[in-house]
Each structure stands twice: as C-alpha cells, then as structure tokens.
Structure 1
Amino acid sequence: MTPDSTLYQIEQQRIRFRRLSLHQQAPGPSTPQRGNWGLALSGGGIRSATFCLGVLQAMARAPAPATASTAPLQPAPETATEHSLLSRIDYLSTVSGGGYIGSFFSSLFLPGRLREPDPQDPVGQAARDAYQALRFEPPGRISTGVDYAQQPVGQGPGAWLRENGRYLTPTGSGDMLYALAMTWRNWLSLHAMIGMPILLMLSLLTLFQVLSQASLLLWPLMAALLFALPCAVAYWLVIPQGDLDQPPNLGNPALRFMLAIVTGLWIGGALAYDVAQWQVVGTLALGAALVGSNALLITHRLVRRLADHRDPAKDSTCNNCVRNYRVQITRALGRAMAAVAILAFLALLVTGAEALYRYLLDYQALATPLLLALLMWLVRRLVLLKDEKPLPDWMRKLPLDVLALVAGCLLMSLLCLCWALLVQWVAHDAGAISYSAAAAWRLLALSLVTALLVCVSGRFIGFLNTSSLQAFYSARLTRAYLGASNGRRFNGPPQQRRTYLSVAEPMSSDDLSLQQYYATPSAGPVHLINVTMNLTVDPAEQLVQRDRKGKPLCIAPNWAPSTEGSVASDGPAERYTLDGKPYRRDLSQGPASEIMSPLSLGQWIGVSGAAFSTGLGRANSLGMSLILGLANIRLGIWWPSHFLDPGQQHWKPRDLKPWTYFGTQAYLFYELTSRFHGHRRDYQYLSDGGHFENTATYELLREGRGVELIVTCDSGCDPDYQFDDLANLVRLARIDQALEIREDPGVLAHPQLKALFGSLEEFRQPPSADSHKCALLLNVYAHSPDTQADIAATPHCRILVLKPRLIAGLTPDVVNYARANPGFPNQSTVDQFFDEAQFESYRQLGLHIGQQLFGRSGQSNEMAEALWRYLDDPQP
C-alpha cells in the first residue's frame, strides 16, 4: 500500500505537467505555485450533464482571474497560451450524470482525439482545441453534408451532443425494438438462471412427497420440535453460579430439575399412551419430553464446545462464560426459526401448487402472462415511488421500505409458485394428480436434468454482468458522449461521415481504455471517477451497515508524464482508493471469464451512473433489491477488486464453499437479497457514485490534494431546494475528514455579490421575477483538536456551489419552456430522453448562470472581478 505522504504525488506531477503545457507555470522546482482548483460535476442523469455542459461553456469563455495568486507565471506566445477560467481547473471530479459530460470534456485533451496532432506540440494543440470546442456557439445540428474538418473545431462535438439528447434510443422506433428485444432476452435468461435451483429443490420435495405420500407440512413441525423449541428451552438451563463471566456449569440446579422433568414425562407419557382415554395426554407428554431431551442435548454440546474450542484471538474468560453461552444459544434459536420459516414456506408452496394445479389444468397457459403483468405493474409503481419527485404528504407517511419488502416477497412467492406448477405439470404428465411410480420417475429425471444445468451454469460467472442492462447503458453513453470527442466521426470523407454519423452503436474508437485515458500525456485536469462499492455486511464481523451501506471507490490516474512528455511509471494506468485508502490489485488468479476483463472509460462512466439497480448504497433494502432484481432492472456490475491487504503479495480466493462451485447463482442470490459482503467475497457490487455522495465534492476535500477552491455544480433533483445532497456532503466531511463546512456570511453582505449569492433559506423561497441568486459560497474549516478553538480560523478551502434555478434575464425560449414544464429545472432523473427544447433549456440555464458569475469573453464584468477579489482574501 502506498504511504499516505506519497498518495497524491502522481496527481500533483500531472497538474504540474498540465500547467507547464499551458504556460501557467515556469519551469523549475522552486517556482511558487498557486493552490489547486477543482470542478465537481454532480449526479442527476442527462439533466445534470446538460446543465454542466452550459457551465463548462461559460467557464471556457470567461477570462481567468487576474489576481496575484492565479495569474500566469511567465509570458508565452499567444498561440500557446490559454487564458480562460476553465483552464485554471486542475481537478475534475464526477459522479453519475456529471461523468457523462466530464468524460467528454477530459477526452478532448488527448492528442489526436479530435483532430490530427501537431508534431511540434501535440499536447498544447489538443488543449487549445478542447477549450475552443467549448467556446463554439451555436453548436448547430449534425449534417452528413458538412465537412467538419474544414469547420471550427467545436461545431462537430457540440452538434453531436445536441443530437443525442435521447441517447438511449437515438434512432427512435428501431432502437426501441432493439432495447425491447435485449430487455426480454436478458429477463428470460435471468429467470432461467435463478429458476433452475428453485426447480431442482421443488422437484426433489415433490419427489419425496410422491414417494412417502405424506404431507410436507410435517417438516416445519418437526424442525420446531427438534430444534427451535429446544433452543428456546436451552437458554434457561444454564444459570450463573456467581456472575455472568463464570464458565457454564452442567451441574446447576436448572439442568438437574429439567433432567428429572424429562424423565418423568417419558415414563408418564409412555404409560398414558397405552390407555385409550389418555392417548392425547400421552402424546403431548411425549412431545414435551422430546423437546426437553433435545434441549438437554443442545445445552451439553454447546457447553462442551465453548470449553474445548476456544478462540485464540479472544480472552478465554470472555469466550467460555455464561454470557457468551447465552449469546450463542440465542443465535442458534435465530437460525432454527429461520429454518422453520423456510421449511414452512416450501411446504406451503408445494402443497399450494398441487391444490392450484387441480384448478388450472385447462388454464395454466394463462397463469404466467397474468403473473408477469402483475409483476411489471408493481415494479413500475414502486420505482415511481422511489423516484426523486416529491411525494404527497399522505404518501410520505407510508412505510415504503416495508411495502417494498411485502411486494418483493409476494413477487418472489409468485415466481416460485410458477416453477412449482411446472413441477406438478411434469410430474403428472399434464394430467390428473396421481402418486404413481411413473410420476416418481418423471420427477427423478427432472431433478437430474436441473441438477446438471445448475452445476454447469454455476461456472459461467460472467453471466452476472452480461444479463444486466449495464452493457446497453454504457454503450449508449459511450456513443453519445465519448463519441462527441471522437474526431473520426466528423473529419472523414463524405461516405465515412454518412456511415459514422448515422450508426446507432458506438464505434470501437469512441471508447477509451484506462491505459489510453490516464497514461497518455495531456494538459487536461486530473479526472476522478466516483462509484459506490455496496456493503451491507461488514467484512470483519458481518455486522449490518444500516446507514451508509456502501463505501466510496475512486478511480484516479497512476501515471505521471515527465516534463518532456514521456510517461514515468511502471504500474497500471489507474489507481483505486476505497474510503480514501489506496489498494493494489492482483488479477493473475481468477476464472477465464469476461468478468475479469478490465473496464473501459465508458464502462466506468456507466457504472458511476448506475442509479437504478439492486444495489442502492444507503437506500439499499431487501424489498427494492427483490423487486428490481426480479424485473432485471440492474445497472450495477459485479467487479473482481482482488485488492491486496498490506503485506500481501498474491490474492487468494475468498468465496466460501460450496458457493465456489455455484458462483453465478450465489451472487445472484446476494444481489436479490441485498447482501453485499465487501472483501469477504471474490466480487464486489458497484453502482452509482451518488449512492454514497452525489455532489462529487467529497474526494476533492482530501487534504493531500491541496484544493483551495471547488466549483460544484449541484444538479441533483431538488425541487424544494432542501439541499439533501449538500447536507450529506457536510455530514460526511465532518465524520470522515474532520472538516466543517459552513456558509460564508460575508458574501451575503457584500454590496455586489449579494445579488448572486443566497443563503440556504433564501433558496427555499420561490424566486422573485427580478432575482439573480443562483450560487452559494461555503467555507471548509479543519477541526483543531490540539487547540482551544473548535475549528481553524482560516478556511481549508472554499466551495462555490452553482444551483440550477430560474433567475431573471433568461432567454425567451427558456422562460417559455419553464412555463410549459413546471418541473423545470428539476425534472425527474428517470427522464433520460431529452428533446431539442429540453436539451437547449438546460444548457442555456447553465450557460446563463455561469456567465452571471464568471463574466463573458472580451467584456469587463464587475461581478466576476468582485468575486475573485473576495475569494482571494484569506480572511472571509
């Protein structure tokens, strides 16, 4: 593991290289450097991506501040100098929808990506083209008749982004049919995979019922008598002789008394059972004797196990004591109750399927479509309830998680019932029910076939990801956003343009490997990609994480270009930090499967935007995982982290046997039941970075990155301006990084800036017709535990928050769109199909807000100058 002191060294080297390439810093190690600036693009789907595009365009057109701490340190030829505000950004941190546009922006800096590289200055030319592309106005529309190689460099990328507002179905009905076919294929494949183990279990149970001709309802009754009730009695059979830390004693009065009672019950029950009038009493006495005997046996075995098998990691006194005995026997009771419940469910399922089969002999073909229609309707309703739109007051009082759990359990029961009906149909050859030898042979054949299918399919671990919607989602994002920076789409001859501009799928050159993205020397900002590693079972003690249910996984570059442009590194191009700690990976061991392939940039951006999935971070719940999983609404992925612990040289498999042999079904079971084990398993479930922190600011606050100003586009759906994402950031920064984020009071009293900056309370009020308030200014202070002060006097850094809001001065088309669509600019994130008016309204809103704050190119802007003077003051 890399020491903390050098954790961010490569990032600082890359920042120094980009500043040298942009002539913002003079060569030499002793050159004084300004603090780093960061840009955080938040989650919010295409709504956030489009608003952030407008902000990026405004920053690319705005002049850089002319204060002493931010001015260029050496003159340079005009053709090689970049003076825009956007060129001052050293870090780019993205989450979800912010990653859409962030990947487009950063990929523009790769030499040769947009246009043929300049042999003399490939890095500098790519940077100039990148900023010029964002300055181009208006973006226009895509046309195969335009030779974009002869047009301004920004015309093609801007038009491509506009044309791909409906990035999921860019060609309309043809794409809808493709998406429908893919969705149904994957849904059917998923249910076949999870249905095979269910079918095997149900066929074996039915086979047992046919052979024994006994009701399966006896199973849960026997489990209760032999295990559950004895565990409950065994708790009271060990009483302490002194205190609870004394070893349990098998000779205590409770055990002796119980032994006498059990002996009497056996003798009395046997005698009473032989008398006709007392058979019921005798049966009850014998049942009670059986429970008592098992209680004595369980008590004896547990006490002996505590004494003989002591954990060397624990103090022997704490391990072998009455207190620990009570904990262990209570856990055993919990497992027994779960076993009884499962057996009761299976018995009722088989019995109910048999009864239902009698009435569905002529109508069973209608059962599956009806159940499927019910499934889809329930999923749609519950997903809409979990959407970001505000709920009515009466609905907020409903326990939605409980309702989701009930609905999920009902859906799972209906699914199992369908498979149970299939078992009955096979067993009785689509005829009347009969417990014949032929039925037993058919059930045996069905069991053997399904057992073979379970064993074979369990080895295809790559099915976990290929059966989800992630591949389709990532491919469409790659085409829409990384395709916009791919010059091969625009700059070829007419025939090539007709082919590349009309294709609905991504070109191979659209996507980038992380090796290309991070190891190619460029003058772009350091891009941090944020995702969530879901964790509901703690890797150490299997404790349920009831609050966060996930950890932040950050992907950052691990290659640093030298001053000559060569790459100075011998490791992987990317670095992974989990909860702020860097980890090395060992992928030398693992199955020969697609799941082991490295993820590309487009795939990582897709994972970072996997908002709707079975893993939802802090919103994880069993009910939603069941519902979304059974409907195959799965955008997250299973990822082999194979992280090495400190001092570990080679990774070792961590899956528990026999799960190793049935990995596909095991991980689908984990996913459907919302059980994500972190490092206790070979694969981890990754989803939207916003499931942990949605503003993308969290990683920029780390002290080692030295960021003094963060411009945050907070574009999450927030119609009531409650700033839930910001509140979450404040909470996480305080708990995890000992940083306190507070509103800056001075900017609200500034004679000029108070017109644009508001307080949290002011944002909650409906804006007036002449209001321009669109930003917040926050100060970040470090806690000072060694001093009398609660926090440091000087801010650790500052956060300039831009919030989508209807303000005065918007263009008529944006005002018209807002009147026709009351949800603007906080329309639902579920809406990922932007038409031209919607796309342009969000882009223009971001552009207008950015220009209000940062000014316009070639124009003197007193507001922007006042802002930079205020931010340059170390004492707010």
Structure 2
Amino acid sequence: MLGESEGTKGDATIEQIGRRRTFTRTLQLAVVLAVVQWPMRDAVHDAAGSPLGCEVPGRLSLLVDATFVMAYVYAAYRAYKYVKFLGRQSWQRIAAIGSWVVFVAAVLDVVEDVRLWNDFGTGACADLSTGWLTWLLRATGLAGAVVVGVAYLASSRFGQRMLYGVRLDPPATFRRIRDDGRDNGRLVIACSGGGIRSASFCLGALQLLREKGLYDKASTVIGVSGGGYMAAAFHILRRTSADPFSPGSPELARLRRQTRYLLQGGRAMFRAALSVLFGLVVNLLLIGITLRAIAWVLGWFLADQGVITRGYTDIRVDWRPNDSWSFLVLSLFLLALSAAMFVLEKVWDRWARMPDVARMVLATIGTFSLRFGVPVAVALLGVPGGLYLLNQLPGQATDQPSLPSALQALVDPAKQGLASFSALVVVLIGLGKSVWNGLAIEGKEAAGMRARLLSFARTKLAPWLASAIIVIAAVVVLLRWTGGYATDPLYQEDWNVALILAAIAVAIKVLTDANRTSLHSFYRERLSRAFLVTRKDNGAAVALDYHLRLRYSDWAKPVDGGPQLVIAGVANVSDADFVPIQRDCVPFVFDAQQIGIVGDRSLPDGGRRVTDDYEREADMLKREVTVPAAMAISGAAFSPLTGRVNARTRPVRLLLAVLNARLGVWLPNPYWNNRPEPAFPEVTGAFAKVRRYVGSVIDKPGPYRLLLEGIGQPSMYDRRIYVTDGGHYDNLGLVEALRREPAQVIVIDASNDAEDRFTALAEAIATARMDHGIQIDIDPSPMIRGSKPRADRAWAYGIATHPLKEGEEKAYKTEIFFVKAVLAGHLGWDIEQYAVANPDFPRRTTGDQFYDEWDFEAYRSLGYTLAQSLTEHHRVKARLEDL
C-alpha cells in the first residue's frame, strides 16, 4: 500500500470504493474478452474462401463473444448503479439511458451471433460480419458506452471538480460507534466458543445463573460458536418456559438425547453425506467447465500460432514458430512492462523528486500489467512447457499425441479414468479427514516419537500434500484438454461441448448458489432441531418447526424484561487498509436492533444496519438472518477462511473449498445500501413481490465466491462478505461485551486452551486494548494448577478500565467475573470419577463433537459447580447483588 488509501482517509465511503471497483473489474473482464477475440477474427479473415479453415476460429469467436456480451452489459449496469449511488439525478437519468442503449446493442449482438453461427461451415466466409446489422450494433453499442462513460466520468472525482468546482461525494467519517446505552450500567453474560464441549459447560453455568436470578437480571447474553448454541437455546425457550432447562425438565431430557447433534441418527448421516456430495459435485463441475473453456481457447490459439503441432506419437512444441520472436514477445510483454515501470520509478527517483501522483501512476500501471502478465505468461509459456515435459516421460505410444497413460487415465472418460478419478476423490477425502484431526490436535504436546511423527504428518505434510494433489490434477486436466484442442480435430469440431458447458453453468446459477452448496444449510438445520425447543401446553418439549422463520430482529429481543440475545461472528477481510497483518477479519455482530461490522476506530462509521432492513436485503423470504442461521454462522469453525487462525488453515484452504468443507456464509456487506431510510422496505402488490423475489434469487452469491474462499483475498469493499466463527476474532465474547460498556461481565470460558496458559483470555485482553483502548487488569494465577494436584479455584476477578471520553472526569470501569472449565476445588464424585476415566477432561478436543450422555452431563455439571463456586464467594456475591 502506497501511503493512505481513500478508505483510510475518508475521502470516499466503503460502498463508493466498492462499487467503483466492481465496475472496474467487470470492465476489465470485458476488455480481456474483447482482446481474446482478436486472433480469432484475424484467423477468420486469413482463412477467407476456405470454409473449413474459417469455421473453428469463427464459431469459437462467437462463443467468446457471448461471454463478452454479458460482461459489457454488466459493466454498463454497474456504471449506472455507481452513478445512482452518488445521487446525481440528472446524470443518473443519462446513465440509465446509456445502459438501456447498451442492452439494445447486446440484443443485436446476440442476433448477429446466431446468424453467423448458422453461416459457418456452409460456405466461404470473409469476415465476422453481417453487413448492416453489424454496423448498427456497433454504432448502438458505442453510443451507449459513450453516454454511460460520460455520466460515469461526470460523477467521478475529476468530473465533480471540473463541473462543480468541489467534490460532492458522500462523506465518510470515523466517529466512534455508540450504542443506545442499553448495557450501560447493566450485567452482560458472555458464553465462549468450543462446540458441544462449550455448549454443555455453558448450559450448567447458565442454569446456575438463572437460579441465582442473574440471568434474568442481565441485559445481554453474548454467544460465540458453541456458547452461542446454548445462549440461543436458553433465550428461545424462555418465551414459553419460566425455568428453561431446569433439572428434570423435559427439554433438558430431550437435549441429552441430542448430544450427537450433527449426525443424530441414520437420516441425519444420510443428509450430511448428500450435502457434502452435492457441494463437491457442483464444485468439481465449476472447476471442470472453467478449465475446459480455458483449454478450448488456449489450445486453438497455440495451434494457430504454430507453437503446438501434432507429431506422429507426441506433441511438438516450437517456442519460435516460423523463426519469429513475436510469440515470446507477446507472452512476456506485460511482465516486461511491469518491470519497466519499476525501473523507471527508480531512475526518476535517482535524478529528481518524484511527485506522489507520478509514483502512484507508475505503480498502478506496474501492478495492473503484473496482474495480467503472470497468467498470460503461465498460459502461453507454461502450458506448452508442461506438455513438452510430460511427453518426455515414458508414455503410451499411439497414433495420436497423448500424455503418459497414468496421467491420461485421470481425465479420459474410460473405465480406468473413472476409477482413477474416484480414487483421487477418495484420497482427498482421506487427507481432509487427516487434516481435520491435525487441526484439532495442533498446539498440543505429543507423547512419544510415533505420536510426534503422526502429529507432524497431519499438521504439516497432509495440508500441503492435499493442496498439491488438487493443483497437479487441475494442471494435468488443463494440459490434456489443451493438447487435445491444439492437435485433435475431433476436439475442435465438437460444438456440443459448448452447449453442455453453458447448460451446466446456467443450471448451477439457477438451481443453487455459493451458500446453498456449502454445509451451512445442513448445519443450521441440525442446530435448530437439536437446541431450539419449545414447551407445549401438555408439558412436552419439542423442537421448533424448522420452517418457521425465527427472524433475528424479532426472536433475539428481550423477553419479559430478560436479556437480549447477541451472537458474535467475524467477517473475513484481508484489506491492509483496515486490519493488521494476519488478522484477516473484523468482528460481525448479530443484534436485534443493528447488525453488522463493529470494531476499532480505524474502521469507518456505517458498518451496521437496521436488522429488519438487513434481513430483507439478505433474502426476500427472510431465511438468511435468523437465530438458527446466526448460531450456525458463529459456529462455522470449519471453513476455508478462518480470520485470525488463517495461518493454520491457509495450507488447506483449497482442499476445504473443493471438498465442500465450508460452513461460512456470504452475506450482504452492511456498508453497502446503508441509508437512513430502509433500503429494502416491505413490498406490496403481486407484481412488486414477484420482481423482488426474482431479484433476490438472482442476487445470491455466485460461483466466483468459491474462488475467493479457496485462493482469493476477500475485501471489506466487496458487495458480499464471508462471515464465519466468532472465535476467529475473540473466542470469549469478552471484547464485544466490553464494547457495550456494561457495569459487570460474567465470562463463561470453555475454550480448549492448554492447561495453565489461558490463551483465549490473553488474546481478549490484548484485543480489547488494541481495538478499543480498554485496559483489563485480571490475574488468573489462582486458576493455575502448576505442580499442585489441582488449581485453587476456577474463577478470577478483574477490572476493565475504558478510555476517558471527552467531558468525563473519571474513566468508566467494568467488573469482570471470569469462570473457566478447569478442575478446581471440591467436585462431585461423578465428576471426579469421569475425570479419572477421561484424562483429557475438561479440555476434550473440539474436533470431537460426538458426546454421549456421560460426556454431556460431566461438562454440564462442571459448569454448574464452578459457576456456583464463583457466585457463592462472599465478595463476588456482594458485588453482583449491588448491581
């Protein structure tokens, strides 16, 4: 990053920058597709009079042109949306007119493509033209592009200064986000993450706090990941029961029957397998059609340039076809331009002072040329080089060019190909399981050489091996298909493939989206059916009907004076503008009043939306922002993007994305469409509802998001953000609790820290100080076991001092009561015996989510006992009663 960006300076809002980037990326795609068509059009022109020589490049050009049409229509539409966002009514109307003109040109372009498609192969052709229709669509498209471009430039920073003399952009501020004061002077309860282990422990602690009257006394209960399961369950059940999950209650008995909530019974296991398989198939289809399309265009181009030719039994590669350097120059031009910009900057800086504007221009040109230069060089030089190297290996001698038989079997539609492909999938699934086990044990000390070697293989070797296998398989497929399209006429003339690819792409877009192919829907349903219950009039405890829309704006509100429900997640972003190196996330909070991104003062204001409006934007049917959805999102620990723990999961991001091990969800960016009035009000009328419904379905996150999960860098400027486990920022919920400035906080911690280290607490202390300037003074040393048989106690007391605000003479302070799942003091005989039989108690790995009734009861009872030891201490009891 060179200096400060517009976002960090406040020169433009997040939405403004994001909309501009979205338009720029779409325009770049359109330009790339236009450039790709040039050699095809030249080939058609050179093959004038030869129907056979004209058909392949001509029809291939039309296929690329179909994608180009969609790209420039989207570019025009996004330019119009940018102008509309800036609020220039006159220019908005002009941009709308220009967009419609571009759309008309696109329709004419499609008509032209259909006519030309039927003409190819039936006679000689001179050019990709239909006479007057071609000239009409070009004139129409150019006119529309000029109109949209004028409106866009007039609304830009340059245009504003030229036309108005001042900038009229929406202001961006960095004011401190202040809440409505609901928690000020009140009690907040925070339930930590930790899967079923934390849910069980927090259940016991919440039962005790309810008995003491502290639960009903609290203003807010914050849930993170597994703690969110039970925080939500308590909150929902309180609507129909005054004593939720009390000892001997039907809902507690039912919960004990749901301790294997993820795969409870054969039906759940069947649906889990289908969910994984469905997403895996869709992911492989997306990868396959992308590789096939690239191979088709690349193979034809390399053959047309004479770089790849067909030998008798092999593929021949000529880096200088016809003894010309033009191909090598074309392949390396953009990389050379990037290097030239860098050298020019250094030389200029050597002899004179370089203005910041000039430095920025050179850096922009260099970055842009590098961004496109690397893939161009890899495609034009790396693919032929790969084909050459593979054909040097011992292969199967045939009368057609081929790859070595062992590699070819991976991609050929033969029995051995299918078997090899199936074996590949099985290997990846096995590696995925090994990686999951490795992530669960990482950070723990392994006893013995065998255990250490196994741990090293799972945590270090398996992640990289799995990603390497995926990359190698994709490269082999790309090489095979590229070689086929470059040398085999049967590949080149099979136009039915284009229809199949298009049909697959349309089916994926229409039938599913990036959220529906993930495991989120399955996970959300399982959590809802296991934890969200209601007590019927006859005393039975039953699961809430899953089809009910438990809208967060309604169901998370306080009930009869009790606490409200807040669920903590994170939005994964990698902007150096706003997040420190390797943090890769900002906190995302589900609140009944306002939902969205909260954080330190480096984040601009406007990151939170009115929850009711946000629910309608996320989905017209209001299914995406519900209590079960928030529970599942906050517990989405198993995802390709994992916030602060990305360093651990980065080697397996690609594997997790391909295998569909994705629990995170793409939600609308709350910085976008953040208006004083609702951006998505309730609609009335059949036509308006149908239009909103269709728009909501079309607007779901597309397959491009899978690429961002696997290998991309999600940005806070994007229209959608990827929200995952709240523990990826603060596993205790303590930072969010302190941000709300309560008088007291009770933290229920079931994190899986190594014994005596209290890592989650240490990270929360540092985060609160870094992000909010809050100083936390707490001493957990009485909880350290050390060489003693057992720790003295399982709780600690601390004070959080908030930064002094303007006009205040004394800093605001918050009392912290911290209770952690450790073995301390006198415990019940059942817990003692369970601890003897289970040496890892109470730090059972989060990777194990399958508990039986003994496991569940041991952690529940421990939570109850330790919370009791906290609240019955005379000093703590007095402090809590004074509130």
Q: TM-score surpassing 0.5?
A: yes
Shift of 1:614: 1.3
CA offset digits 1:402-450 (Å, max 9, x no partner): 867743541332442574488489x69xxxxx945334212x4324532
Aligned to 2:500: 449
* Alpha-carbon distance change, 165 to 236 in structure 1, aligned in 2, over 3 angstroms: closer
From 97, 108, 133, give the equivalent of 2:244: 133
Aligned to 1:673: 711
Aligned to 1:19: none
Aligned to 1:481: 531
Once the two structures are superposed, the pairs formed by residues 62-461 of structure 1 within 5 Å of their partners are 62=212, 84-110=213-239, 113-114=240-241, 129=242, 132-134=243-245, 136-137=246-247, 139=248, 155-171=249-265, 173-208=266-301, 212=306, 213-214=308-309, 218=319, 221-222=328-329, 225-229=332-336, 231-232=338-339, 235-236=342-343, 246=353, 317-320=355-358, 325=362, 328-329=365-366, 332-333=369-370, 335-341=372-378, 343-347=380-384, 352=390, 354-357=402-405, 360=409, 363-387=416-440, 389-392=442-445, 406-407=464-465, 409-417=467-475, 419-420=477-478, 423=481, 435-442=487-494, 444-451=495-502, 453-454=504-505, 456-457=506-507, 459-460=509-510
Aligned to 1:868: 877
| Residue 614 (structure 1) aligned with residue 652 (structure 2) | no
Once the two structures are superposed, the pairs formed by residues 465-864 of structure 1 within 5 Å of their partners are 465-483=515-533, 486-488=534-536, 491=538, 507-508=545-546, 512-518=550-556, 522-537=560-575, 546-558=581-593, 574-579=594-599, 583-584=608-609, 597-620=623-646, 622-644=650-672, 664-678=702-716, 680-702=717-739, 705-743=740-778, 758-759=780-781, 763=784, 765=786, 767-768=788-789, 771-783=791-803, 796-855=813-872, 864=873
* Alpha-carbon distance change, 726 to 6 in structure 1, aligned in 2, over 3 angstroms: closer
Shift of 1:644: 4.2
* Alpha-carbon distance change, 241 to 348 in structure 1, aligned in 2, over 3 angstroms: closer
Partner-residue secondary structure (3-state), 1:725? helix
Unaligned ranges ≥5, structure 2: 1-171, 310-315, 321-326, 392-401, 447-451, 681-697
Matched-pair contact (CA < 8 Å) for 2:618–2:625 = no
Matched-pair contact (CA < 8 Å) for 2:571–2:585 = yes
Residue 181 of structure 1 aligns with an amino acid whose one-letter code is L
Shift of 1:596: 7.4
Shift of 1:245: 5.4
Residue 487 of structure 1 aligns with an amino acid whose one-letter code is R
Matched-pair contact (CA < 8 Å) for 1:478–1:511 = no
Supply the distance in 2 between the matched residues of 1:405 and 1:328 (Cα, whole angstroms).
Answer: 36
Aligned to 2:398: none
Supply the distance in 2 between the matched residues of 1:812 and 1:377 (Cα, whole angstroms).
Answer: 41
The count of residues paired between Structure 1 and Structure 2 equals 652
Supply the distance in 2 between the matched residues of 1:706 and 1:335 (Cα, whole angstroms).
Answer: 49
Residue 686 of structure 1 aligns with an amino acid whose one-letter code is V
Partner-residue secondary structure (3-state), 1:92? strand
Residue 58 of structure 1 aligns with an amino acid whose one-letter code is L
Unaligned ranges ≥5, structure 1: 16-33, 63-83, 115-128, 140-154, 248-316, 429-433, 559-573, 653-659, 745-757, 856-863
Supply the distance in 2 between the matched residues of 1:805 and 1:343 (Cα, whole angstroms).
Answer: 60
Partner-residue secondary structure (3-state), 2:189? strand
* Alpha-carbon distance change, 396 to 217 in structure 1, aligned in 2, over 3 angstroms: farther
Shift of 1:688: 0.5
Supply the distance in 2 between the matched residues of 1:545 and 1:807 (Cα, whole angstroms).
Answer: 37
Residue 429 of structure 2 aligns with an amino acid whose one-letter code is M
Of stretches 155-164 and 53-62 in structure 1, the one that deviates more from structure 2 is 53-62
Shift of 1:189: 2.1
CA offset digits 1:491-513 (Å, max 9, x no partner): 37xxxx7xx96xxx862477622
Supply the distance in 2 between the matched residues of 1:348 and 1:506 (Cα, whole angstroms).
Answer: 60
Matched-pair contact (CA < 8 Å) for 1:779–1:795 = no
CA offset digits 1:277-330 (Å, max 9, x no partner): xxxxxxxxxxxxxxxxxxxxxxxxxxxxxxxxxxxxxxxx32125x86367547
TM-score by length of 2: 0.65
Supply the distance in 2 between the matched residues of 1:384 and 1:524 (Cα, whole angstroms).
Answer: 40
Supply the distance in 1 between the matched residues of 2:194 and 2:293 (Cα, whole angstroms).
Answer: 43
Aligned to 1:43: 193
Supply the distance in 2 between the matched residues of 1:795 and 1:776 (Cα, whole angstroms).
Answer: 20
Matched-pair contact (CA < 8 Å) for 1:194–1:665 = no
CA offset digits 1:598-656 (Å, max 9, x no partner): 4211111110110110120112254332121111100001112353477787879xxxx
CA offset digits 1:545-587 (Å, max 9, x no partner): 52221111112222xxxxxxxxxxxxxxx54453275533697
Matched-pair contact (CA < 8 Å) for 1:235–1:326 = yes
Shift of 1:673: 1.1
Matched-pair contact (CA < 8 Å) for 2:224–2:733 = yes
- Higher relative contact order at CA 8 Å, sep ≥6: structure 1 or structure 2? 1
Cα-Cα RMSD? 4.2
Aligned to 1:259: none
Matched-pair contact (CA < 8 Å) for 1:695–1:712 = yes
Supply the distance in 2 between the matched residues of 1:712 and 1:520 (Cα, whole angstroms).
Answer: 20
* Alpha-carbon distance change, 156 to 50 in structure 1, aligned in 2, over 3 angstroms: same
* Alpha-carbon distance change, 596 to 414 in structure 1, aligned in 2, over 3 angstroms: farther
Supply the distance in 2 between the matched residues of 1:759 and 1:591 (Cα, whole angstroms).
Answer: 48
* Alpha-carbon distance change, 416 to 644 in structure 1, aligned in 2, over 3 angstroms: closer
Shift of 1:178: 3.0
Residue 773 of structure 1 aligns with an amino acid whose one-letter code is R
CA offset digits 1:79-113 (Å, max 9, x no partner): xxxxx233322221111111100011111332xx3
Matched-pair contact (CA < 8 Å) for 2:567–2:634 = yes
Structure number with the higher helix fraction is 2
Matched-pair contact (CA < 8 Å) for 1:38–1:92 = yes
CA offset digits 1:763-821 (Å, max 9, x no partner): 1525525x54111112112345999xxx9987711211111111242222222221222
* Alpha-carbon distance change, 349 to 578 in structure 1, aligned in 2, over 3 angstroms: farther
Supply the distance in 2 between the matched residues of 1:468 and 1:813 (Cα, whole angstroms).
Answer: 40
* Alpha-carbon distance change, 708 to 396 in structure 1, aligned in 2, over 3 angstroms: farther
Shift of 1:466: 0.8
* Alpha-carbon distance change, 396 to 446 in structure 1, aligned in 2, over 3 angstroms: same
CA offset digits 1:340-366 (Å, max 9, x no partner): 245555445666494135864773232
Residue 227 of structure 1 aligns with an amino acid whose one-letter code is L
* Alpha-carbon distance change, 557 to 205 in structure 1, aligned in 2, over 3 angstroms: same
Supply the distance in 2 between the matched residues of 1:167 and 1:589 (Cα, whole angstroms).
Answer: 27
